[in-house]
Amino acid sequence: MGITFEHPLVLLLALAVIPLAWLGVRTFSSTMSPARVWSAVIARSILIGLTVAMLAGASAVQQSNRVAVLALVDVSDSMRVFGNAFAEFPPEPGGVRPNWANAISNWLIAAGEMRRTDDLLGVVVFDGDALLALAPTSADLRDLSVEYRSREGTDIANALRYADSIFPPDARRRIVLISDGNETLSDALEAARELAAGGSRGAGGTRTPVDVVPIAYRVRNEVMVERVDTPPQAAPDSTITVRTVIRATDPTTGRLDLLYNGRPLNISQGGEGYSRPVTLEPGQNIFTIDVPLARADVHSFEPVFTPDDPADDQISANNRAEAFTVTPGEGRIALVDADPDRANSPLARTLRAAGLPLDVLAPGELPDSVLQLQGFDLIILNDISADQMLPRARQRVLADYVQTLGGGLVKIGGRNSFAPGGWKDSPIEDILPVLLELPDEVITPSAAIAFVIDNSGSMARTVMGGSLSQQQIANDAAAIAVGMLDRTDLISVIEFNSTHRVVVPMGPNSERERNARLIRQISPGGGTNMYPAMALALQQLERADANVKHMIVLTDGITIGHPSEGYEIARAARDRGITISTIAVGDDIDRSSLYEIATIAGGGYHHVFDPTQLPRIFIREIRVVRQPEIREGAFNPVVLPTGSPLVANLPANIPPLEGIVLTQPRDDPRISFAMATPDGEPLLAHWFVGRGQVAAFTSDAANWARNWITTGWPGYSALWTQVARSIARPSGGRAGDMLTEIDGEDLVIRYEAYAEDGRPLDMLTVPATVYTPDNRQIDVRLDQTGPGVYEARVRAPMQGTHVVAVAPRRGDRALPPVVGGTTRAMGSEFQRLSSNTDLLRRIAETTGGRILSLDDPEGANLFDRSGVEPVRAVQPLWPTLIFWCMLVFILDVGTRRIAWDRLISNAVVTELREVAASVTRSEKAAKTAETLRNIATGSRAQRKSASQAQPGDPPIAPRTDPRNDRLTDQPDETAVERRARAKAEQEQRMQAARERMLSQLQGQSSSDAKGNGSDAKGKGSQADEPDKDDTGGTSGLLAAKRRARQRYQDPSGGS
């Protein structure tokens, strides 16, 4: 491992240490001791060095040998359709041809088995977006799946850059691109050149090779409707030309049909039926049809081709396209009613009698695009619930119809309307003039609901080839249901897989947004063990204080445990007044057990094959328990003196109504409250929202209003006629025309504004909203490009209809809106009928990669080190340097602010020296005593030898003491022994001096001291005599001690 610096020139700042150190010595010397001066200077120098290292970008560099491979799998529509149908894939065991996804997964699994233990393999799937399907891992890949979908298009460049950014920094890098090469977005070769040049900074400038696995195909026997052209606008009762372009790969015969507003149009040219026989040649074939326009505002045209021989057309999904034409005309009124006899309802009869243009529709017949809604000036929702209006995208479109296009909306109450109908926390609630949330004093906690949600691994399956999983849809459905409940209701959410966990404990729904967020965070994984979670939910409901207690159980699998466990829980719930509803998703479920549980507990059983219907089911279940917002009983309506045109000139003596949906007034000065109950609850209110108006009538127009109808009260007809005329969008002149067309990947919007006299209108503000085929909204602003001409371009790669709503303004005055749009008949994915292997080859050549084949996963050798460059893993050191900077900074401040050197005074030094000397003397005394014992032992041995000497042996000469020339009877000593004895005598003299000083300190008399001295002399003279005791070693030591005392008292040495 080494150290590198991102900005090495910054290291020159470290030279500042030299003058700063000199300045520090000069400055600190006058106030601090040398020790403190140098400690401060050193600490300051280290601090400067650490800071300079951080500024220079110090990093630790380590070279790695393991390999990380990221496989980029193309999951775009061209791969799913053309690749799946026409590419050659290795057969599975048994000779079965796999589909495209299984073939790629099998190849990756087989190629991944060649890894070392520390090698990594990850998977990124991409179409118009890139998604990490499997993070780089060394784990087993047996359950690998590439069945993901994000958005239309193929963006290889984005996938390459995304993969480059997520590589582990400590591994060699290789990318494997599996694609047909038909990119529709960005520039893949440019991204390949970036990888060849070193890619992201995290790679340390290392080239990343891109191996390619071409999915080669050539489309054969294929017919597609490429586009259909109609004029965007036309005059009423005119005739237009519908131009259809059909492309074929081979000669083909078949039939062409044209649907006009969903109904077949006779284009047979005198033949039988409605179809026109056609013969197609390879390439483009153009057909034109003249169509007289019927009385309508929007005209849609959809040509459909059907081959005579199905073998001549492999893919039928691209055999149709759509276009539309808009004609200005009188707006109509849409009355949406769920009653089977809706056409003969009292309200429908009343509006027809008033001469108003009326269309009576079922909830599912209401258009779901602003283009189709443009034909209506007013929409009346008569006792309609939110689940009948799902999906929520339709509700958002309805809100945009009011706010952007200026349409009118009337919401009429009933048992299925407002809060009881599940409209709380919906896009429609935001534009109503009343609030659906009731005060706490109006509604008490009446409902306790426990959601028991399956989050096993199977819930991760995507739905209908989309990007959303079953878990995400179930989470959203439960979150929507929680949003519909009142804040005082009690809720609990429990997730279960192999185990269970309480996501939201039983309690008031006071934090609906937080609860919904927690629900949406539930993620799949594990097995299915449902009954313990149900038992816990039952315990929570049993303890809850509510009038209605309900459990909703959702699962998509077969649970662990015997069904009798579920039946026992259901019976216990029934005995405690708790209902249980079960929701089964898909085919792999235990239908009979779930149905029996719901039946025993008095709830409902729902079997859902399409998970997108889950929100509707959840809302239906919530509606069962949300009835406190309804108050039935006769009351007399009160007309408020607000001057509202809706109740102008109403006859007096208004008959009573029999019921009302409770709401509360919205606090906004723009709202007009026309009618109320005697207690002040809103009955009829209206206001402007954006460009349109919305009215809310919280009673109903039939059952609760029976007294208005049966008594023949004339105010019934007058009220509803005035409501319809006042809330409907007023008819106005046109202030411009709009043209939309597809140009490559873009939608071009052109708006021409003009005054009544034809003069162009300049300096307008022209905002527009584009509604894409996948229900997304794109806001754009048109810029003026000429006199009265405003243009904008928007990315529109998706196949389908793109609707544009333009809402121009001149200063503060709003001009009439214009709605138009165009259709991309065939997505850019299907415009190429063969794979682009040449692009893949150039990507491999640019990056130094290889061309691989699905037929040989072992030969791919993805983890071969010879094909990839070593990677230097760079780890920034600034976190460590910051820590040491803080520590050194504290030491720097401490050594300058605290006079620590004063703690070490002369007295302390002296005491430390004495302690050290004492310890040293003790050690030396112990060694000297040992030496003397050895000498004494040798002396005894000599005396014994002398006593045993034979006559005639030479006598032993006496030894002379070299210090005082005194004779001794001891044998000759070596030089080492003499030095040891001298040291011992010196130690004894020092010890005697210490004892004397101690005696004086203790107050001993001088006579005692002299007596002791005489005694010492006497003992000293005795010591000169030979010691004849057997313990001569100890006697010699004592004699040496007495002599030392005598010499201390008599410096002359006793001579």
CA distance 765 to 84: 48
Rounded mean pLDDT, 530-551: 91
Angle at the Cα of 914 (from 912 to 916), degrees rounded to 5? Answer: 70
Q: Are residues 602 and 725 in the same domain?
A: no
Per-residue pLDDT tens digits for 83-113 = 888 889 988 887 888 888 889 988 998 888 8
Instruction: Identify the sign of the CA torsion 753, 755, 759, 763.
Output: negative
pLDDT in tens, 113-169: 888 888 889 999 998 888 888 888 888 777 778 877 777 788 999 999 999 888 887
Tokens of 59: 């990093």
SS (H, E, C) 545-575: CCCEEEEEEEECCCCCCCHHHHHHHHHHHHH
Judge if 410 and 557 occupy the same domain: no
Q: How far is 791 from 629, CA to CA, in rounded Å?
A: 49
User: What are the residues facing 801 on neighbouring strands?
Assistant: 823
In a domain, 881, yes or no: yes
- Alpha-carbon distance of 591 to 606, in angstroms, equals 10
Residue 46's nearest CA partner among 14, 73, 74, 84 is 14
Cα distances from 1004 to residues 726, 767, 809, 874, in angstroms, run: 128, 116, 121, 81
Of 560, 625, 553, 622, nearest in space to 585 by CA: 553
**pLDDT score, position 1011:** 46
Q: What is the pLDDT of residue 1007?
A: 43
- Is residue 737 situated within a structural domain? no
Q: What CATH number corresponds to the domain at position 491?
A: 3.40.50.410
- The predicted structure's pLDDT at residue 573: 93
CATH of the domain at 803: 2.60.40.1930
* Band of pLDDT at residue 808, cut at 50, 70 and 90: very high
Residues 620, 670 share a domain: no
Nearest to 495 by CA among 452, 545, 465, 531: 452
User: Is residue 604 a part of any domain in this protein?
Assistant: yes
Q: Please indicate, yes or no, whether the overall pTM of this predicted structure exceeds 0.85.
A: no
At which of 625, 643, 671 does a domain end? 625
Tell me which of 941 and 368 has the higher pLDDT. 368
d(CA 40, CA 29): 11
Question: Is the same domain home to 481 and 612?
Answer: yes
The residue to which tokens 């996804």 are assigned: 101
Helix (H) or strand (E) holding 624: helix 614-625
Please report the pLDDT score of residue 157 as a whole number: 93
Angle between helices 878-897 and 34-55 (to 10 degrees): 160
Nearest CA to 553 out of 589, 507, 517 is that of: 589
Same domain? 705 vs 670: yes
- Asked if residue 184 and residue 149 are part of one domain, the reply reads yes
Q: Omega into 391 within 30° of 0, i.e. cis?
A: yes
At 711, which CATH number?
3.40.50.880
- Rounded Cα distance between 692 and 688, Å, is 6
Q: Indicate the number of domains in the chain.
A: 7
Q: Are 689 and 430 in contact (CB under 8 A)?
A: no
pLDDT at 1031: 41
Q: Which domain CATH number covers 288?
A: 2.60.40.10
Residues contacting 790, CB < 8 A, separation 6+:
750, 751, 752, 753, 764, 766, 782, 783, 784, 808
Backbone conformation region of residue 800, classed left if phi is above 0, alpha if psi is from -120 to 50, else beta: left
What's the one-letter identity of residue 955? P
SS3 annotation, 133-181: EEEEECCCCCCCCCCCCCCCCCCHHHHHHHHHHHCCCCCEEEEEEEECC
Structure tokens that stand for 1055 in this block: 């001579």
Phi and psi at residue 641, to the nearest 5°: -80, 60
The least confident of 211-215, 684-688, 890-894, 975-979 is 975-979
Could you give the CA distance from residue 753 to residue 116 in angstroms, rounded to a whole number?
68
In DSSP terms, 688 is beta-bridged to 693
Q: What is the mean pLDDT of the chain?
A: 81
Q: Is residue 558 in a domain?
A: yes
Of 332-336, 654-658, 928-932, give the lowest mean pLDDT range.
Answer: 928-932
Mean pLDDT check: name the lowest of 447-451, 459-463, 518-522, 869-873.
869-873
Residue 952 belongs to some domain of the structure: no
Q: Count Cβ atoms below 10 Å from residue 493 Cβ, excluding itself.
A: 26
Express each pLDDT in 562-585 by its tens digit: 889 999 999 999 989 899 999 888
How far is the C-alpha of 801 from the C-alpha of 527, rounded, in Å? 42
Q: What is residue 949's DSSP assignment?
A: P
58 forms beta bridges with 5
944, part of any domain: no
> Locate tokens 């070596």: which residue?
974
> Which is it for strands 809-810 and 813-814: parallel, antiparallel or unpaired?
antiparallel
Q: How far, in Å, are 303, 356, 674 from residue 353 at the CA level?
A: 39, 8, 24
**Strand, helix or coil at 737?**
strand
Looking at the fold, whether 861 and 883 belong to one and the same domain comes out as no
Say which residues have a Cβ less than 8 Å from residue 875's Cβ, sequence separation at least 6.
59, 60, 61, 62, 169
Could you tell me the pLDDT band of residue 970, with boundaries at 50, 70 and 90? very low
- Which pLDDT score is estimated for 306? 93
Tokens of 880: 């460590």
Q: Which residue range forms the structural domain that includes residue 189?
A: 64-214+834-872
The pLDDT of 290-303, averaged and rounded, is 87
Give the neighbor-by-neighbor strand order of the sheet with 578-585: 500-508, 490-496, 447-454, 548-555, 578-585, 605-608
Neighbours of 91 (CB within 10 A): 11
pLDDT score of 926 more than 50: yes
pLDDT at position 999: 64
How is residue 801 written in tokens?
Answer: 């209809």
What backbone phi and psi angles, to 5 degrees, belong to 1038? -65, -40
pLDDT tens by residue, 243-283: 999 989 899 999 999 999 888 999 887 767 789 999 999 98
Strands 172-179 and 210-214, how do they pair? parallel
In this structure, the answer to whether residues 396 and 542 fall within a common structural domain is no
Strands 2-5 and 58-64: antiparallel
Token reading at 191: 């991204």
Supply the pLDDT for residue 548: 83
If asked whether residues 296 and 231 sit together in one domain, one would say yes
Residue 953 lies in a domain: no
Q: What does the pLDDT read at residue 1029?
A: 42
| Residues 200 and 874: beta-carbon distance below 8 Å | no
Is residue 792 located within the same domain as residue 857?
no
- Mode of pairing for the β-strands spanning 172-179 and 67-74: parallel
Boundary of a domain, candidates 326, 349, 365: 326
Other beta carbons within 10 Å of 958: 11
Collapsed DSSP state (helix, strand, coil) of residue 656 = coil
Q: Which helix (H) or strand (E) holds 670?
A: none
Give the separation between CA 183 and CA 127, rounded to whole angstroms.
Answer: 9
Helix (H) or strand (E) holding 687: strand 682-689
DSSP string, 455-498: --GGGG-BSTTSS-BHHHHHHHHHHHHHHHS-TTSEEEEEEESS
R_g over Cα of the chain: 50
Instruction: Output the pLDDT for position 997.
Output: 64
What would the pLDDT profile of 10-47 be if each residue is shown by its tens digit? 888 888 888 888 888 888 887 788 888 888 889 888 98
> Above 50 in pLDDT, residue 361?
yes
pLDDT greater at residue 466 or residue 779: 779
Question: Average pLDDT in the 420-446 region?
Answer: 77
Tell me the residue ranges of DSSP E strands in 787-929.
789-795, 800-806, 809-810, 813-814, 818-824, 871-876
pLDDT at 541: 93
Give a yes or no: residue 407 inside a domain.
yes
- Give the end of a domain, one of 680, 700, 730: 730
Residue 758 has which token pair? Answer: 């034809």
- Residue 500 and residue 648 in one domain: no
Q: Is 235 helix (H, G, I), strand (E, B) or coil?
A: coil
Give residue-wise pLDDT tens across range 661-692.
Answer: 989 999 888 999 999 999 889 999 999 998 88
- Please give the torsion angle defined by the CA atoms of residues 996, 998, 1003 and 1008, in that order, rounded to the nearest 10 degrees: -30
Shared domain for 658 and 705, answered yes or no, is yes
Residue 850: which of 211, 145, 173, 16 has the closest Cα? 211
